[in-house]
Structure formats: C-alpha cells, structure tokens
Structure 1
C-alpha cells in the first residue's frame, strides 16, 4: 500500500481509506443490505480485509444509518483500534456545546473506543450564519474541550461546496478538510486545494468515483465510453494524480472490492500532477501552443 502524510496532522495515511457510508446504504439492485445479518458480517469482513491490506484510515459518521455504520466499524475497532486512524463526524447545525459533546461521546460508544483521531464538522454548504455559529456559539468550543480530554486528536470539517468552507479553513483551527472532489466535481481545484496546501491542512476526498453519477451519465449519453474504459478506474486515477490530495475515501462493500482498489493504487504511477492542469481557457491555449513549440 502507498502512503502519504496528511498535512500538519503528520498522520502517515494510506492513499485510500475505508469510506463508511456503504455500511449504512442499501443497494438492492446490487444485492447489498448491511442491515441484515449476512450483510453486516460481510461489512465487518470487508473492514478486516482493508486493514489486512494496509489501509489504515477509516472514515464514518453518526448520520450514516443513525449510527449503524459506526456500530459495524466498532465491531472491528474493538480488537484492531491501534491498526488504523479513525475519523468520524458531528453535526454543528442547530447544536450547542453540550449537544456536540454528547454526540461525539455517543459515537465513541458505538465505535467501541476511547478516542478518534479526526473529528469533523459534517457540513454540506456553510453559510455565513453557519460559520458564525460554529466559531462563536458552542460547536468549536465543544471540539476543543473534547481534544483537551483526549477524546479527539485533530479537528476537521467536511464540505460539499468547496468555496463555502474557505472562511472556516482560514481560522487556522482545522487540520483537515474533506471535500467533494472528482473528475466531474472540480471546483475545489479553483481555491480550496491550493489554500489547504498553503496552510498545511490535510485533504481527504469524498465521492471520488462521483457516487456513480458519471457512470449514469455515460450510460445515457455515450455508453460506448463505458465499453472502452472503466469509468471507476479513470475516476480513481484522477484523484490519485493530484498531489494536493492526502487520502481518498472509497466505499468498498465486499472484500474483493478492497483487493481491486488496492491493486489499482499499487500499480498506478501518475504521469503528471493534476494540480498543474490549467483551469482557464487562455491558459489552455498558451500551454497548448508551448507544448507544440509555437
């Protein structure tokens, strides 16, 4: 397994992580139900397979199945907690200091451990009001208290909308940001990824495979692309090729998916850095001319 340092946390993390949503999401068309006894045991086996393969970062959230994902992961953490870095989340919206502390402590019970390495505010889009609430009305104070108590180590946040998280990142209070970034969602490249690099903030990626949206689009617009190349593999290669990305959260349901992902990561060597990809039309023209000696 390949590893990278996750910003100023100093954590030496595997390039891919166990993404915990799949342990709460039912997908009947694919024969996946983690709420049944068989599905739960399969999920536990998958996490064991990931740790055995050298994956050492596990990310989940209490909102994934109302704690169901955390409870599955907890079955593994009960005996293998020291083999990985563990991250979960907490909702700040509408919550005061006491509620945030209570939520994290309940997560720890489900995860069957006394601390998590990374605790993240679980956010979609942060309005100015949201940012003010987090910083001044209890949620941030709650995480700082939990850190003093040794129940969390590093503070982070997650965001669907890269731009809306910039003000929170600017505070210097957060050591990790998890962002929606993929082949089709590239707005983080315009600002967040560079800001994170400049500030030493570790970057985790959510939805690297577009949650299947790219495959759905290609199936409707140009099915031959799916026949010519595996969109899943192309999506993973995209984020692996960006030097600003520390760890990539991948939803893996079965042990054989762990093996496939690990093999892809280990054999792929990026030929260029996505961070250097021009983002403006004028720059595309200029680099095209330069490439062709004009």
Structure 2
C-alpha cells in the first residue's frame, strides 16, 4: 500500500470518527448505512445534517459525559438534557439557584430553557446572573409570551428578556405555550407574533426560532401547516404521552421528516406525580424521553439533589431499545388513558396566567388591580 493510500485511509477514518462524534450517535443498521453513504459519497455538511434523527439508532455507550446532539438542521449541538427555567426560579433561594445553574454547566449541560413570564420574571433574572462569565458555554433559549398579542408586544418582551438575561442575543427564541385552538391564527395574522420572530432573526438578536405547547398535538400540527421555517418545536414527551393524545406519535415524526429539532419536556409528567405514586422511576422516565429522536429533553430541576439525580442518569445514559420502550408504554397505558398524569393536556391547571388572561380565563394567582 502506498503512502498516499495510507494517508487517504487515515483521513477517511478520521472523518468518519469526527462525523459520529459530532452527531453524538453511533449508527447501526439502516441509520448507519444512510449516515456512511452521505459521509463517504458527499462533501456536503448540509446533507449530513439532513439525516432524519429517527433513522439513526442511538446505540450509544455511556461515556461519563452528557451526550451532545444535533439541533435539527441548524449545525449546532446541544446537551441531551437541558436545565428548565421554570423550576430554576422555584429553587428555595437565589444562592442555591446559582449553585444549581453553575453545577449544571460545569457538568456539561449546555441547553438553558426559560420564558419571559416564568415566576413573574424571576427565572430570567436569576439565570441572567448565573450566566455571568459563562454565557459562551451555553445555548440560551427563552420564550416570548404574547399569547395572541402583536409583533410590537413581542419585540418589547424580547428586549426585556435580553436585559434580564444580561445578553445581547439569544440562541433560540420560541413562542411560548401555544395551547389555545385559535392561537395559530392569532400568531400568524398580519402583524402577529410570527413577524417578530422573523424581525428578531433578521436583526441578529436571535439565532434560531421555534414554538412550544403542551395541550394537544392538533394545535402543533396546525402551527406546522403554515410552513414557517421553524428551527425547533418543544412539546411534552414521556411514556404516558405515547398512548394519550400523543405528541410522540403525531408530531415527532413530522418534525424529524422536516429536519426541525424536537425539544422534549415534561419527561416526568410535569409534576412527578407518577413517580411519587411509584408508577415509574425517575430513571425510567428520563431514559424513555432521552431515547426518543429529540435534540434535548428539558428537565425540571429545583434543587441540587434533583440536579445530581438527573446528571447521574444523563452521564450514564444508555438508550432504551424498541422492546424496552414498548414494554414501558404498555405498562403505563392504563394510567395514561384518562390523562391523570398529564393534566397539562386534560385540564387548565398548568396553563400560565398570561395566556389565561389574554383568552378571557381567570388567573390562578391574584393579579394586582
């Protein structure tokens, strides 16, 4: 074998290793065949990024580090588990919240979730303080909470979020809590909030845009029917969802087909009630959600103890295989059938006050007159 051949083979092997490391997946079967075909028959990074995540089987060995995954077609990688902003604002003290955020970042969590309205803005304020000196280590997302209001309100909220988060740009800005059946029409109307997403991205104040919601897959599909170039979509994904008004069954395949990054949330059914009742364990809940073809799973963490529990699961992450996932779905199907562990779908209990007020429903907390 000539030196040129040796160098060519060495380069090909290096290229292959870097490709697999970049995806943070080790493909087998059909997924691996597709990945290697693109890798060795094209020089296009775009084509590689366009491999549907659902075709890449995540047979990843635990490495002691939190896996990184591609954020759809953006070319960016994020940690497979994210830090939830709502729960960060519910930590007992600001000092402990700082420790939670810092320990999360120091242990490889890069995806930071938040929203303009969380805990009456405290979540953004605390996260902004926690990220001082660490902004370049994270992928920062927050959400705009217009709830049907117009582009101007959305842009005002963006400036407020940037100020509280102590940054001049967001990595991701998402429309929050699209949970009412007329929300898509309100968002996409002339001068609606969708125009703010386009404007903010054009002005360089946000890198990527998306939307979130927890109520019904039909509302997500209506949002997607407008064919707006969303980079991400956030939704509840857990073992109960799989058999009850299921985002996993109805929305996730559409996102993967389009190359839109799926962001999972409510992996422990929103309030952990199923865990408290012994129906599932934290390990089962988080492993199931992380085993789906998603970019990241946002986790509610309101203490150092919960952070360390979830870090242990994520660092030792072993994806469930198809049989394990189906066995868990079947085991909880009876409990899933009436939505008792997904009240964010089957009731208004978890709908935020900003949205309730804009849609004519009374708030859950007392609002100053």
TM tier, smaller: 0.7 to 0.9
Unaligned runs of 5+ in 2: 1-65, 331-369
Q: Please, which runs of 5 or more residues in structure 1 have no aligned partner?
A: 26-31, 34-38, 220-224, 282-294
**Does the C-alpha gap of structure 1 residues 50 and 276 become closer, same or farther in structure 2, counting only changes over 3 Å?**
closer
Give the corresponding residue for 2:235: 179
State the alpha-carbon separation in 2 of the partners of residues 74 and 105 from structure 1.
13
Question: Could you say which residue in structure 2 is the equivalent of 1:194?
Answer: 253
CA distance in 2, matches of 1:19, 1:166: 24
- Aligned residue for 1:117, secondary structure, equals strand
Match 2:318 to one of 269, 278, 282: 269
Paired with 2:123 and 2:186, the residues of 1 have a C-alpha distance of: 28
The alignment partner of 2:321 has SS state of coil
Question: Counterpart of 2:186?
Answer: 133
Give the CA deviation at 1:124: 4.1
CA contact (8 A) 2:184 2:219 kept: no
Distance 1:43 1:55, change over 3 A: same
- Asked if 1:162 corresponds to 2:221, the answer is no
Compare CA radii of gyration and give the structure with the larger one: 2
Contact 2:221 2:251 in 1 (8 A): yes
Measure how far apart 1:163 and its partner are: 2.4
SS at match of 1:87: strand
The residue correspondences of 1:110-259 to structure 2 (distance < 5 A) are 110-127=164-181, 129-137=182-190, 138-160=192-214, 161-170=216-225, 171-186=227-242, 187-210=246-269, 211-216=271-276, 219=277, 225=278, 231-242=281-292, 244-259=293-308
Question: Relative to structure 2, which stretch is displaced further, 83-92 or 230-239?
Answer: 230-239
Structure 2 counterpart SS, 1:178: strand
User: Is structure 2 residue 64 aligned with structure 1 residue 7?
Assistant: no
Contact 2:288 2:320 in 1 (8 A): no
- Distance, in Å, in 2 between the alignment partners of 1:273 and 1:86 is 32
Q: Secondary structure at the match of 1:70?
A: helix
Deviations 1:189-221 (A, max 9, x none): 2210000000001011111111213135xx3xx
Q: Distance in 1 between matches of 2:324 and 2:193?
A: 33
List structure 1 segments (4+ residues) > 3 angstroms apart after TM superposition: 273-278
The secondary structure found in structure 2 opposite 1:86 is strand
Partner Cα distance (1:264, 1:115) in 2: 31
| Distance of aligned partners of 1:157 and 1:181 in 2 relative to their CA distance in 1, 3 Å threshold | same
- Number of residues of Structure 1 aligned to a counterpart in Structure 2: 257
SS in 1 for 2:158: helix
Matched, 1:81 2:135: yes
Deviation at 1:130, TM superposition (A): 1.8
CA deviation after TM superposition for structure 1 residue 256, in Å: 4.0
RMSD value, Cα:
2.2
Distance, in Å, in 1 between the alignment partners of 2:144 and 2:305 is 31
8 Å CA contact 1:77–1:113 kept in 2: the answer is: no
The TM-score, its normalising length taken from structure 2, stands at: 0.65
**Inter-CA distance 124–143: structure 2 relative to 1 (3 Å threshold):** closer
Deviations 1:107-148 (A, max 9, x none): 000000001111111124242x32122112321111111111
Partners in 2 of 1:87 and 1:108 — Cα distance?
Answer: 11
Q: Secondary structure at the match of 2:297?
A: strand
Q: Does 1:59 align with 2:113?
A: yes
Distance 2:128 2:156 in 1: 18
- Once the two structures are TM-superposed, the CA of residue 179 in structure 1 deviates from its matched residue by 0.1
The structural deviation recorded for 1:169 is 2.0
